[in-house]
Amino acid sequence: MLEGWLSLKDVPAEGREFSFETNENWQEFIAEFNLKFKILIPLKLDLTVLPQKKGFWLKGVIQGKVEFACDRCLEPAIISFKEYFEFFEEKEPAEPENMGESLLRFIDSHYELNIFQLIWEQFLLSLPDKKLCQEECKGLCPKCGTNLNLASCNCEKTTGDPRLSIFRQLKLKSK
């Protein structure tokens, strides 16, 4: 798993701000999870850590730029993102089986934050569910495969699910 530990030993009660710009080899983790995109510029994280009685309040912003294949037309698309986040990380998880999922560890009488894991998680959460080259992307023709953003085709247009086509001929009697 991805590890890079940040000591929280000297974080004052009013909190501390950290900035990271990482050129970490993220592509190997992208390949490990079989994700289909490429990070184009180093990921940048601005983070504020606020110590609390039972943990740490983490808030910040992550930004970067990725390239991926459009979900509709498969053309290369580039997206820039800037995503804000805010959450509480407990010093000790309530459930012992969740110990491995924590971003914190206690070592040498102080807490450390796994900053690389935090960056990776926030990066994945910042990516859009539907990756499009443009909002108006028309996609590919399902019959001939023509990119409908670049050209039109002469294929017969079908509407709806072909398995339900029998119902299109159904006539209902009105009372």
Asked whether residue 98 carries a pLDDT value surpassing 90, the answer given is: no
Give the model's confidence band at 87: pLDDT under 50 very low, under 70 low, under 90 confident, else very high: very high
Number of domains present in the structure of the chain: 1
Contacts of residue 153, defined as CB under 8 A and 6 or more positions apart, other chains included, come to 141, 143, 144, 146
126-165, pLDDT tens digit by residue?
A: 999 999 999 999 999 988 999 999 999 998 876 778 788 8
Which helix (DSSP H) or strand (DSSP E) does residue 118 occupy? helix 115-126
Give the model's confidence band at 97: pLDDT under 50 very low, under 70 low, under 90 confident, else very high: low
Which helix (DSSP H) or strand (DSSP E) does residue 80 occupy? strand 76-90
* pTM of the model as a whole: 0.76
Radius of gyration over every alpha carbon of the chain, rounded to an integer in angstroms: 24
Give the Cα-Cα-Cα angle 110, 111, 113 (nearest 5 degrees).
150
Average pLDDT over residues 89-108: 74
Asked whether residue 107 carries a pLDDT value surpassing 90, the answer given is: no
Q: Domain of 102?
A: 1-175
**pLDDT given at position 94:** 55
